[in-house]
Amino acid sequence: MDNLFQTLAKAADGAFVVNEDQRILYWNEAAQELLGYTAAKVVGQACYETMRSCDEKGQSLCRPHCPVITAALEGRAVTTYDVAVQTQSGEMRWINISILTIYSPDDDSGPLVVHLFRDATQKKQNEQFIRRLFDSSERPPAINSLTHPVASIDSLVELLTEREREVLTLLAHGLSTSAIARSLSISPATVRNHVQSILNKLQVHSRLEAVTYALDHKLITKA
């Protein structure tokens, strides 16, 4: 177990380890930097008392015998997931968590569940921003009022033509194919061709992924 803790001490990700009773046995410095809680404060506490995570709807996720811990202890794979947690300062922060279950034949303390996590706040904010755009029923703004210029700071975007950059900017504002066609005075079929070219060049699979990529790489900015 000491070797595990020594390894996690060097991790760039935040890390904490819990036992079968969900008591925190280890908390690294990266976890303290991300959430503010010191090891002295949280070691020995139940993980759900410290993390108190929730989903996008504000519903609590951390609790005794939570599905994540149950799956990990049963040897089932747990996919990476996002949760919102409250930091020591009271700020809400999104983190992305990966789970590992460690079994040591030389240790009779039982299986240990390792939580590795990293800041996902900006990614989540981008996703929420894009979702609001694509779900909005409001009339999209006219092209002359757009305030999200494409910034050619990434090598991939240099592959885009001027027209493709215009289409990407309009996609980021939630415009539909027909609305983009009207704004640029081109046919819907031409818009679809430009969109497909953008997806291919940015190596993504959907309009949503294209806009997410553009936001994440600061190719466009949010007003």
Give domain limits for the chain: 2-119, 126-216
Q: What pLDDT is recorded for position 211?
A: 84
Residues 135 and 145: their CA atoms lie apart, in Å, by: 20
Q: Is the distance from CB of 52 to CB of 32 less than 8 angstroms?
A: no
Number of separate helices (H) and strands (E) present in the chain: 10, 5
Mutual angle of helices 162-172 and 177-184, in 10-degree steps:
130
Q: What pLDDT is recorded for position 138?
A: 44
- If you average pLDDT over residues 146-168, what whole number do you get? 61
Q: Is 195 helix (H, G, I), strand (E, B) or coil?
A: helix
CATH number of 126-216: 1.10.10.10
CATH number of 2-119: 3.30.450.20
The structure's pTM equals 0.61
Q: What pLDDT is recorded for position 162?
A: 83
Please, which residues bridge with residue 65 across strands? Answer: none
pLDDT beyond 90 at 13: yes
What are the distances in angstroms from CA 86 to CA 56, 120, 160, 204? Answer: 13, 13, 41, 33
Q: What pLDDT is recorded for position 130?
A: 67
**Which range is least confidently modeled, 55-69, 103-117, 132-146, 175-189?**
132-146
C-alpha torsion sign, points 159, 165, 167, 172: positive
Q: Is the distance from CB of 32 to CB of 17 less than 8 angstroms?
A: no
Q: For residue range 100-117, list pLDDT tens digits in order.
A: 999 876 656 689 999 999
Q: What pLDDT is recorded for position 33?
A: 96
Residues 129 and 121: their CA atoms lie apart, in Å, by: 12
- The candidate with the shortest Cα–Cα distance to 158, out of 144, 173, 168, is 168
Q: What pLDDT is recorded for position 142?
A: 38
The domains spanning 2-119 and 126-216 adopt the same CATH topology: no
pLDDT band at 141 (very low <50, low <70, confident <90, very high): very low
Q: For residue range 32-46, list pLDDT tens digits in order.
A: 999 999 999 999 999
- If you average pLDDT over residues 203-211, what whole number do you get? 85
